[in-house]
Structure 1
């Protein structure tokens, strides 16, 4: 419901992100992607009421709410670079109007399929703005022209009484945007890696139909395990099996006798039509540890692509009762004294199967290391389709809520560590190999320069010196403190608070 606003502090939305000028002015300036500071600096003092950026179409809602709360705003001057179409959408709102959203989620701007205006804003209030506020399109125009337009505008009275309306409830996200392919997990132990893999699918997974109901899935989940000892497995309390059941699973994983089953992994690895692929892998590694052909294939094209007629539906896709390998390839190579192994899954039940699969594959990797006299390197699994079945969604959320703690995210970066120092006005950042044996890079910049911390961060990113998000976040934090110390005349010491 609309209401009067005695003693209101305006703007009521995003005041801390706006430049407030003369509140008696009729002019609001939307600079889109151009820095608002750059625009405001070129405008006559007192010539505008508020100046701010409008990055996205979603920002149109607070803009309209601020106008309704301060109906002295009679003009919107649109300027700057329109990178995401927010300027187009705002102009379309004024030129074409709105229509109801079919799903009842809000108002649609006619001619724009993306912009959604809050349903809490009534139609008559939105029409009041459209009819009484003029918008001027000065996108990509020189700021001198923007300034001239603003100073030419005539003074007007408020077109209505101030109004505010209920906030839109914050919707709970059902999924999160992602790049949809190649999700990387790197952990020392399988249990920690499992939590990360579950979280990736739980958060970014797309719901799709599966053979046994709906699944959430992502493409190309790459999980690296570095320190797990399969002989003495580290079975976390939150995992769904104990040592006895794990040993039983691993034994069955490598069983060469498939009995009545269509396949077993052991049969495909050790006895594929009389071929022992494991033995060939060991033989090649003993002959040349850098051999590019050390692999085992578990998919039989002539058999696995042709299910019996009684388990094929009308569209020709296999149904329940027909099982084919999820694990389709195992590869390995030595780097120095370490033997690294990679396993490729066409699809992988990450909740129920992946941790067991990983322990079994780690066992195989350790067996090969023993036979060829090499150290145990990393185990990498790549799941083309990494999925969680609908029946496991609820428990996945519970496992993550109970065990995904902040302490898990303090870990080393496999590429480097760094030091940040201040010498006079210079900020110096050095990168070293993880073992400290080699300096990899050094950057020195004048800390008095604008945005120097940002530039130093980008140098490190450009040279690919940081791979861990936690390490990158800390680097940005340390460099920001160093820049503040130089500019404020304070003392800087890495990992400490600034001092006088």
Structure 2
């Protein structure tokens, strides 16, 4: 009497981030880390795998991955591919392995939210809504293999497909997911200028602006809150980089040290690796653009042609993930070297701080090389990023709100009197309000304003100096109104920056 093994038919149905996955009909999920998932899928047929997808972040990626596995319990095996330097740097795959090997514990994340924390040297979170016994059952039920190359991952898949199909280890399990809503206030859609001394300070201001007035839009990756064309100016980031204590940035110093090489250094083209920014700058177009810029500025320090491009016209047709960083421009003015970078699309919560620090490292490299090879003595100027689509993904809204609540008020309380538009001296003379507009630094008087009406003087200053800082403008309005009260009432002495005092 012969027996036959039961035949099961499976269909993988993702409940989270479906547009970012390649779905099939098998029982093995392939986690490709930072390797392009299509580079693995092309060697397989859909009946061989259940799903193929990336895992970039241990704090943002592991929880939705686990939710999808619980919703598709016919998946009984995982292949976890760690083939790139980016995998080792980000740590997502290693953290997933640690979850399977070492488990998890109750704790709170960096914004005080209760979560499960993976028992790992790499920080990884799992939503607390998933019961611990269910997570333990998942760990017991799924087998896994590690792979260090695409070839190894494909070979493992072929081996697993030689085995008999098994029944699902559970019924599909779906748990509630609390999504943070975002309240949007009125504000301009386009062209925002945000300035800060450090990357950390500027980042908090960026989060505040997007979370306050950004438009909520659907995308292929879910929802995001977005503003168009944010110009961020970082004025004084230290050469060794500033990390707040405690560190509220989404990156650590160790990560940045590795990330910088992805911008400064070339790398060979490898299957499954999209590119690095360094590769685009050093060799993609058969030219070392960084070296070109250094040589150009040594020969003509005032050149306006110091341009580097990362966009390849073939990206329109041949790349499902073209570079977000498209254009870099270096300029020296008054012996100060600035760097301006343009991003077509910019994840302002998770990516912008590392982007900015990496670009700052490039800026420092260029100025150092120019000075080492020439007689120029340059100062490092501002770092400027232009983020054409500046957005925060909805799974980061709660984190962004917490950081803004904790840090933005502190930044606003810091007294900053320097306004590049200059300062204003206000006094009463010859029975009218007098105002002198003074340049920053040199103290040269460049304009005078006279009159009896605070409103008329305010309007004239606004016409002449549209770039005046918001706080400075509000301060001037209050001071001018105070001066008008003294002028018309004849009861008070006027002194700028001091309370009104009655005449004796």
TM-score by length of 2: 0.59
5+ unaligned residues in a row in structure 2: which ranges? Answer: 1-180, 372-377
Q: Which residue of 2 aligns with 1:342?
A: 340
2:246 corresponds to 1:240: no
Cα pair 1:263 1:324 within 8 Å, conserved: no
2:498 corresponds to 1:496: yes
Q: Which residue of 1 aligns with 2:95?
A: none
Structure 1 segments of 4+ aligned residues over 6 angstroms from their partners: none
What does the per-residue CA deviation read over 1:139-173, in whole Å, with 9 as the maximum and x for residues that have no partner?
xxxxxxxxxxxxxxxxxxxxxxxxxxxxxxxxx99
The 1:346–1:444 alpha-carbon spacing in structure 2 relative to 1, beyond 3 Å, is same
Cα pair 2:263 2:362 within 8 Å, conserved: no
What does the per-residue CA deviation read over 1:75-122, in whole Å, with 9 as the maximum and x for residues that have no partner?
xxxxxxxxxxxxxxxxxxxxxxxxxxxxxxxxxxxxxxxxxxxxxxxx
Query: The residue matched to 1:422 in structure 2 has which SS?
Result: strand
Q: Which residue of 1 aligns with 2:456?
A: 455
How far apart, in 2, do the equivalents of 1:488 and 1:245 lie? Answer: 63
Q: Which residue of 2 aligns with 1:426?
A: 432
TM-fit CA distance, 1:241: 2.2
> Higher Cα Rg: structure 1 or 2?
1
Q: Which residue of 2 aligns with 1:416?
A: 422
TM-fit CA distance, 1:227: 0.8
Calculate the aligned-residue CA RMSD, in Å. 1.8
Query: Mapping of 1:88-107 within 5 angstroms?
Result: none
TM-fit CA distance, 1:307: 3.5
TM-fit CA distance, 1:457: 1.0
How far apart, in 1, do the equivalents of 2:208 and 2:399 lie? Answer: 12
The 1:376–1:367 alpha-carbon spacing in structure 2 relative to 1, beyond 3 Å, is same
Cα pair 2:340 2:383 within 8 Å, conserved: yes
The 1:466–1:181 alpha-carbon spacing in structure 2 relative to 1, beyond 3 Å, is closer
How far apart, in 2, do the equivalents of 1:253 and 1:333 lie? Answer: 19
Q: Which residue of 2 aligns with 1:484?
A: 485
260, 264, 274: which is aligned to 1:262? Answer: 274
- Equivalent pairs, count: 310
Q: Which residue of 1 aligns with 2:55?
A: none
TM-fit CA distance, 1:276: 0.3
Query: Mapping of 1:56-455 within 5 angstroms?
Result: 174-235=183-244, 237-257=247-267, 258-259=269-270, 260-302=272-314, 304-307=315-318, 322-373=320-371, 374-405=378-409, 406-408=412-414, 410-445=416-451, 447=452, 452-455=453-456
Cα pair 1:431 1:465 within 8 Å, conserved: no
TM-fit CA distance, 1:193: 0.6
What does the per-residue CA deviation read over 1:478-497, in whole Å, with 9 as the maximum and x for residues that have no partner?
10100001111110100111
TM-score by length of 1: 0.60
How far apart, in 2, do the equivalents of 1:391 and 1:462 lie? Answer: 43
How far apart, in 2, do the equivalents of 1:294 and 1:485 lie? Answer: 55
Query: The residue matched to 1:306 in structure 2 has which SS?
Result: helix
Cα pair 1:415 1:466 within 8 Å, conserved: yes
Query: The residue matched to 1:268 in structure 2 has which SS?
Result: helix
5+ unaligned residues in a row in structure 1: which ranges? Answer: 1-171, 309-321
